[in-house]
Amino acid sequence: MLKYADAEPSAFASMLGGLIEANVANRLEKRKDFETLAARVGIFVTDIDEGVTLEFQSGSLVVHNGLQPKRDITIRAEADTVMNLSNLKIGPFGMPVYYDEVGRGIALKLVRGRLRIEGLIGHLATLNTVTRIFSVK
């Protein structure tokens, strides 16, 4: 289900890969999302200058060190914000909740440009699916 593209995955790659693997293994609704998602998602942590590319392949995932080409979506944020993305609650219709404390914090970062999402237009549904898979809530 999970593979690392690099012989020595970075700590960040291992952490994200491990987090997604555990989420998908433990939660049926996340597994369903995982099995349907085909997308290349980049996550770049701006305050440590490290990134990964998550290549979702409808039921399997390849985690690459660094940002690789041909990404559908790229999320750029500081470490705290990236961790908080995993703490977004998922509400009705599988939509991330942006009105509680964590959600408002994320929304504010987006408005202030401290969280940037490239490729959002045309990939909103993909972003929501990734958020659901990523969320530990």
Partner 1 sequence: MAVKFASDEWARQFKDEVNRSSVYKSAAKGWKWTVGLVVEAEPDKNFPESLGVIMDLFDGTARDIKVGPASEAQQCDFVITAPYTRWKQVATKELDATKGMLQGKLKLKGDLPTIVRYTKASQEMTECTTRVPVEWPDEG
Question: In whole angstroms, what separates CA 11 from the centre of its chain?
Answer: 16
Among 4, 5, 15, 32, binds partner 1 (CB under 8 A): 15
Among 2, 3, 26, 94, binds partner 1 (CB under 8 A): 26
Site for partner 1 in 41-70 (CB under 8 A): 45, 47-48, 50
Is residue 22 a contact residue for partner 1 (CB under 8 A)? yes
Is residue 97 a contact residue for partner 1 (CB under 8 A)? no
Is residue 77 a contact residue for partner 1 (CB under 8 A)? no
Q: For residues 128 and 65, what is the distance between their CA atoms, to the nearest angstrom?
A: 23
Q: For residues 78 and 108, what is the distance between their CA atoms, to the nearest angstrom?
A: 13
Determine how β-strand 73-77 pairs with β-strand 50-57.
unpaired
Cα Rg, the chain, nearest whole Å:
14
Is residue 104 a contact residue for partner 1 (CB under 8 A)? no
Q: What is the dihedral of CA 75, 38, 125, 134, to 10 degrees?
A: -50
| DSSP 3-state of 94 | helix
Query: Which listed range, 69-77, 82-90, 114-122, 125-133, lies at the site for partner 1 (CB under 8 A)?
Result: 82-90
CB of 62 or CB of 83, closer to partner 1? 83
Determine how β-strand 73-77 pairs with β-strand 38-45.
parallel
Shortest spacing between CB 20 and partner 1, in angstroms:
9
Write out the residues near partner 1 by the rule CB under 8 A.
Answer: 10-12, 14-15, 18-19, 22-23, 26, 45, 47-48, 50, 79-80, 82-84, 86-87, 136-137
